[in-house]
Structures are given as C-alpha cells and as structure tokens.
Chain A
Amino acid sequence: MDEAICAKPRDVMLIVEDSASDVRLIKECLRESGTLGEASVVDDGAAAMAFLRRQGAYADAPRPALILLDLNLPKMNGREVLAQVKSDADLKRIPVVILTSSDADEDVVTCYELGANCYVTKPIGLDEFARVIRSLAAFWLTVARLPEE
C-alpha cells in the first residue's frame, strides 16, 4: 500500500470557529470517526494568526497539519486570515479548508482566489454533516500527501 495512505494521522488540526456548538459538533463527528487527534480551537481570526505565528499565549503552540476555517469570525474575518496565511512564506503550505454556512458564489470564488485548498458549505442535517467532516479529515489527514515539516 502507498506509504502516504498508511501514514499515521497527522496529529494537529486547528479549528477556527466562534460557535461553541459547531466546535463541539465537529469534535463529536471527528471522535466518532476515530480521526480526532489533537484538535486545537481558537474562536477569532486574530487568535488564529497568533496561534499560527506562536505569538503571546500561543508561544508553544504546535504547527497544525490542517486548518478548518470559518468565514464569519470576530476581530479578523476568515477571508483576512486566509489571505494572511497564504501570503506568509512560512504558513502557506498548510492546507486550509473553509467550513462555513455561506453558500454564496462570491465567497466561494474569493476564497479559492485567496488560495483556499477546499471550500465546504456546512451541511444542514447532522448525518450529512458528520459524513462531510469524516471525509475531510480522512482526505486531508490520511490520503493527501503533504510536505514534511
């Protein structure tokens, strides 16, 4: 079997999401699928950048293997976070999955233009939501081959 598929799931995922209920829902879905390694959570855009750049309280933060990014966030919105990550030489290789309730074409286009690796609209039903989260985790953390850090 291909080495990448057999590789152990990369541990750290950063969830940037301001809704506690959504965070819990994502975690529950990941737990049920057995793919939840260590998920870190920040609830605003500024904290996300501090985490990624290991600034302030996040000096010891791990480097995430995947970022799940909501678009509507306090302090700095998801588009700005995306733009900063993708224009930062050190961070731009980290895959960013946009996970949002917006299904506006405009948001989809903007996000891909800014360098998003994937855009997903949060499914409305729980079962569908769980399926999407599981497949995202499976794809990005096990199937996709990413550069070694």
Chain B
Amino acid sequence: MPHAKTPERTNTGAEAHTGKPPSIVHLLEEAAEAVSHLACIVETSDDSIISKTLDGTILTWNSGAQRIYGYTAEEAVGRPITILIPDGHEEEMPDTLEAIRRGERIDHFETKRVRKDGVLIDVSLTVSPIRNAKGEITGASSIARDITDRKRAEQALAWESDINRAMADLSGALLASAQIDDISIRVLAHAKSLTSSKYGFVGYIDPETGFWIPTTMSYNVWDECLVENKKLVFRKFGGMWGWVLDNREPLMTNSPALDERSTGVPEGHVPIERFLAAPAMLGDELVGMVALANPVRDYEERDMSAVKRLAEFYALAVQRMRAEQELAQRAESLARSNGDLQQFAYVASHDLQEPLRMVASYVRLLQQRYQDKLDEDANTFIDYAVDGASRMQDLITGLLDYSRVSACSEPFAPVECEAALDAALANLRVSIDESGAVVTHDPLPTVTGDRLQITQLLQNLIGNAVKYRGTDPPRVHVSCQREEDGCVFCVRDNGVGIAPENRERIFRMFERIGTESQRAGTGIGLAVCKRIVERHGGRIWVESEAGRGSMFCFSIPER
C-alpha cells in the first residue's frame, strides 16, 4: 500500500483537553496518523500481505511479500496473482476469488507457491474480502505465512515414523521366525515404499559359493526384464550393484549415465534412471544387499539413510538364517549318528549272538561229554569257559534288548497296565516261585505307550526286586498314582536297597553294584528301563537306603 507520510504533526493531546470540537484538519491528521500506524504494522510484518482485485490483479505488496516471494513491490503490483501459483495449483485462484465474491473468508489454507527464482515454498494463506465504504466487495486481502520449515520438520517426523513403523514390522517378523525369503520380501516392500522406488531387489550372499542370491525382485522386474539368462547376471558382480558388493559401500546416484561406476545395463534390461543400494554387513563380512531404482523423484540423503538401516536389519536376518541352518544341520547329523549308533548296536549284538551260541554250545558239550575224562585243570578251564560264554550271552541279550527299545519300537497305543503286569509276572514265574516272592499291586490304569516295552519295564523292575532280595522272602508292591500330567508308578521292595551315592550310577549302561559273586547281573536292565521311560517322555528315579529296600518310580505322561 503506497502512501505518503503526513509532514505536519500537531499536539492532538493538548487539544483534547480543551473540550473544543476537533477541526477537519485535525480529523484528517488523526486519520492520516492511524493509516500511517496501520501501514507501519503491515510493512513490518513477517507475513506477506497482499491485496488484489476481484479479477486477481495485485494492488499492494508489503515487504513481507517481497521477502517471501522475491518480487519487489514495483515488480509485483499490477501483475496477475497467478505469477505466484505453481503448476498443478491453477484451480485454486478462481475458486478463492469466487468465495471472496460471495463474501466468504478462507482461513489458514495450506498450499504451495512459487517464488520468483522458481523455488516452491509451503505457505499458509488467509484470504478475506475488502469492502468499500458502501460495503461492496471490491477486492481481497491475502495474508501468507511461509511454513516451508515447519512442513519440512513435519515431513521429517512423518518419515522417521514411517521408518520406525517399517523397522517394527520387520523386527516382529524376525521375532516370529519368518523365513529369509519372507524377510527379504518385507524389506524390499518397505524399502520401495520409503524411497518411492519403482524397482528393487534384496538378497544375500551364499556363504559357500559366494554367489549373490536375489531372493526377491520386484515382480515387475522379471516381467519387464528381457535379459536372456537371468541366472548368469548374478555369478559375477557387475555394474553399480556389483560396485556396492565389491566395495562394501552404499551408492546413490540420480544420473547413472554420468556415473563412472555404472557399466550400463545388459540388452533388454529395464533402463536405470536413478539407483540406490546399500550392502548388508556382519562386521567385515558382506552378507547381502538392498538395491533400489527409478523413483518418481530424485533420491535424497534420507533415502540413503533409510536403506542403510534396512540393510543393517537385513544383515541380522541373514545371521539368523545362518544360525538356524547350522542348528538344523547339527540336529540332523546328530540324529543320523544316533541312528547309526543304534543300528550298529542292534546289528552287532544280533550278529554276535550266532558265533557266541556256537562257542557256548560246544564248550557246554565238552563239559557234558568230557567232565570226568580229563584232569582237574581241564575241568576248571572248561568251567571258566562255560561261565564266560554264558555271561557274554547275557550281556549280548541285554544289549539287544537295549537297542531294541528304539530299533523295534511299536507305535504308541492304549496299554492296560494290569495286563502288562500279568505278562511281566508270567515271564518271571520261575524266579518268583523259587524265591517265594509275593507281588501285590494297586489297581493299575490304562496309559498310552508301547505294550511290550511297558511289560519289559515292569518285568525288569520286579525282576530286580526279586533278584536283589534281603534275607526275608521278597515282598514287592506295585503302586500307581495319578498326577496332573500323567501317572507315576512305583515298585517297592524289601530287598538290599541302594546306597545314596549309587542312585544315579545304577541307570547307566553296564554299571553294577555289588560283587560278581553276590549277584548275577549285566548292568543293562535298568539302562533299558531308563531308555523305555524316556522314549515315553517320562522320568525314572529311585528312592532307597542301603539295607532298607528300594522304591523305583517312573512317570508316564498323558498324551
């Protein structure tokens, strides 16, 4: 608003005290003073304050407008307001002027404007009608505030929040044990969306071959890519992505044609207009890469920082994948060697039986036929041979029983424990009768398991109770208690008992307590029991004191 300052100034305050009516001159002076006052406010405002006619011609232009838009008042006044309107916002002005004609006001409308130097800025606009003395609308005042910095801060915040959301999604997926292919797809999706890229790929380096495995490619890459043998592309690292892999450094370019690191693209390849990639590193080791291309806009530093963060995350995912693979391989090789060992034990004990049967049979035949025909030494030697062969047979039978627990196991089915106990007692009839043992039991339940193995388990435990008896005739009681997650069986006896220090040892293979002459045993029976119980998912233990009997307990969990 160009205006002239009134040169004369009088003392208005003194006259006000006189009580006389003010003169015209005085009123004019006062009005001029007020106008000057307002003009000063307008002129010193940081905001752009412009007035324009109803057809959009600029009438006044303050220094705020000059600062924001770059035009001086001389350059702007008389020109159409559209010089400030950038491409894509042409519709705004007619709409605004239409509203003004209707007497409406537009408050804090956020939009873009273009400066004299062509730079786009964000502004908040307030447009109000200007009325003449008769109240007719003759134009519009437009107050604009440059909010470019605020907008930028808002966008930076939104960006940060987008990245955080992406990282949270990825972390969740990794925690949920998603496969590397799934993680790769997610990383690519976030990378493309954060950087507005059209194409991209995410992949890892095969540690064995050193080949680059791009587990994901934007699907449209394959559709549009006409390179004949796509696999060949990834044997040797080439071009810009190869540079990233070779140099283990990120790369960003908005003009690949001018970048010396670019070797162009193979025939049929989608043209690369802009390129951004970051390597995924585990320490010094290159493990993968996130690569992107052809956004609708130029790549910026923040795109680079987002892709670096995604690449860091991707390295963790690759590390996780490798750890899982290694674990799986170890488990598999352990299972295999376990299986081999079991097979070996079974075959060895089975095949040893035949030659041993011959040795045992013929020394026994010697004993029978020549007992009294040779000298005393010969008798002793033959007796030792017969005894050794017999013990060897017991050991091998035990070993065979042990390896059969897993080698010849039946699928689990309901097992009536009373029937299993009856079968065990029938097998033990001779030793029970000979020892005068009394075996009693609680009502026994039905459990899920292997019938023959449950029978063998009870048979071994009751057999031990009878074998390791004290001076009194053996009394054995089989009890069963239902617990929360299954049944606990106990076989209690009045035998010799077991010293506390031996309670763990007795379940180990070939471990025997007591001297040979005291008790015949192979040290396999309880190892077999332990193996059977463990195959059923249960636990076996003993409660005992030397000389006071023992109680062997085992649990069979519910299935």
Q: Is there an interface contact between B353 and A124, defined as CB atoms closer than 8 Å?
A: yes
Task: Say yes or no for B362: interface residue by CB 8 A criterion.
Answer: yes
Asked if B546 is at the interface of the complex by the 8 Å CB criterion, the answer is no
B157 within 8 A of A: no
Residues of B within 8 A of A129 (CB): 361
Per-position binary interface string of chain A over residues 72-88, scored 1 when its CB falls under 8 Å from any chain B CB and 0 otherwise? 00000000000000000
Please determine whether A101 and B360 come into contact, CB atoms closer than 8 angstroms. no
Interface residues on B, range: 10 to 19
Taking A101-B353, A101-B354 as contacts, is the C-beta distance between A125 and B360 under 8 angstroms?
yes
CB closest chain-B residue, reference A105: B408
Complex: how many Å from CA A22 to CA B359?
11
Question: CB of B96 within 8 A of chain A?
Answer: no
A28 to B361, CA, bound (A): 11
In the complex, whether B1 has a CB less than 8 A from a CB of chain A is no
Whether a CB of chain A sits under 8 angstroms from the CB of B31 is no
Interface: A126 (CB within 8 A): yes
Task: Say yes or no for A122: interface residue by CB 8 A criterion.
Answer: yes
Measured CA separation A125–B353 after assembly (Å): 11
Contact of A124 among B357, B362, B365, B368 (CB under 8 A): B357
**CA–CA, A131 to B225, complex, Å?**
84
Quick check: is B358 within 8 A (CB to CB) of the other chain? Answer: yes
Chain A interface size band reads 10 to 19
In the bound assembly, the distance between CA atoms of A126 and B354 in angstroms comes to: 13
Q: Are A101 and B365 in contact (CB under 8 A)?
A: no
Type the 1/0 row for B125-167, where 1 means its CB is closer than 8 Å to any CB of A.
0000000000000000000000000000000000000000000
- A-contacting residues, B104-120, CB 8 Å: none
Residues of chain B with a CB closer than 8 A to A127's CB: 364
Q: Does B393 contact A (CB under 8 A)?
A: yes
A21 to B, closest residue via Cβ: B358
Q: A101-B354, A124-B353 are in contact. Are A21 and B362 (CB under 8 A)?
A: yes
Contacting residues, chain B, for A19 (C-beta < 8 A): 358
Contacts of A22 on B, CB cut-off 8 Å? 358
- Taking CB atoms and an 8 Å cut-off, the chain B residues in 502-551 that contact chain A are none
Which residue of the partner chain, among A21, A101, A122, A126, contacts B364 with CB atoms under 8 Å? A126
Q: Is the interface of B mostly helix, strand, loop or mixed?
A: helix
Instruction: List residues 106-122 of chain A with CB under 8 A from any CB of chain B.
Output: 122
Interface 0/1 of A13-26, CB less than 8 Å to B: 00000010110010
Query: Given the complex, which residues of A lie within 8 Å of B397, measured CB to CB?
Result: 124
Contact with A along B372-400 (1 / 0, CB 8 A): 00000000000000000010010001000
A101 to B354 alpha-carbon distance, docked (Å):
7
Query: A122 to B361, alpha carbons, bound, how many Å?
Result: 12
Q: Are B353 and A126 in touch, CB under 8 angstroms?
A: no
CA distance A22 to B357 in the complex (A): 10
Q: In the docked arrangement, what's the CA distance between A21 and B360, Å?
A: 12
What is the CA–CA distance of A122 and B355 in the complex, to the nearest angstrom? 13
Contact status B362-A125, CB under 8 Å: no
B361 touches A25 (CB 8 A): yes
* A15 to B: closest C-beta gap in Å: 16
Distance between Cα atoms of A21 and B358 in the complex (Å) = 7
Nearest CB of A to B392, in Å: 11
Q: Which residues from 188 to 219 on chain B have a C-beta closer than 8 Å to any C-beta of chain A?
A: none
Which residues of chain A are near B360, meaning CB under 8 Å?
A: 124-126
In the complex, the answer to whether B365 meets A28 with C-beta atoms within 8 Å is yes
A143 to chain B, nearest CB (A): 26
By the criterion CB–CB under 8 Å, are A125 and B364 in contact?
A: yes
Closest to B386 in A: A126
In the complex, what residues of A have CB within 8 A of residue B368's CB? 126
B404 to chain A, nearest CB (A): 11
Please report which residues of chain B, range 332-371, place their CB below 8 angstroms from some CB of chain A when the two chains form the complex: 353-354, 357-358, 360-362, 364-365, 368
Which residues on A are within 8 Å of B, measured CB to CB? Answer: 19, 21-22, 25, 28, 101, 122, 124-127, 129
> Which B residues are closer than 8 A to A by beta carbons?
353-354, 357-358, 360-362, 364-365, 368, 390, 393, 397
Beyond A124-B357, A125-B360, A126-B361, 6 extra complex contacts between A and B, CB < 8 Å = A25-B358, A25-B361, A25-B362, A124-B360, A125-B390, A126-B364
What are 27 A-B residue pairs whose CB atoms fall within 8 Å in the complex? A19-B358, A21-B358, A21-B362, A22-B358, A25-B358, A25-B361, A25-B362, A28-B365, A101-B353, A101-B354, A101-B357, A122-B357, A124-B353, A124-B357, A124-B393, A124-B397, A125-B360, A125-B361, A125-B364, A125-B390, A125-B393, A126-B360, A126-B361, A126-B364, A126-B365, A126-B368, A127-B364
- What 9 A-B pairs have minimum CB-CB distances, sorted nearest first? A126-B364, A126-B361, A21-B358, A101-B354, A124-B357, A25-B361, A124-B393, A126-B365, A129-B361
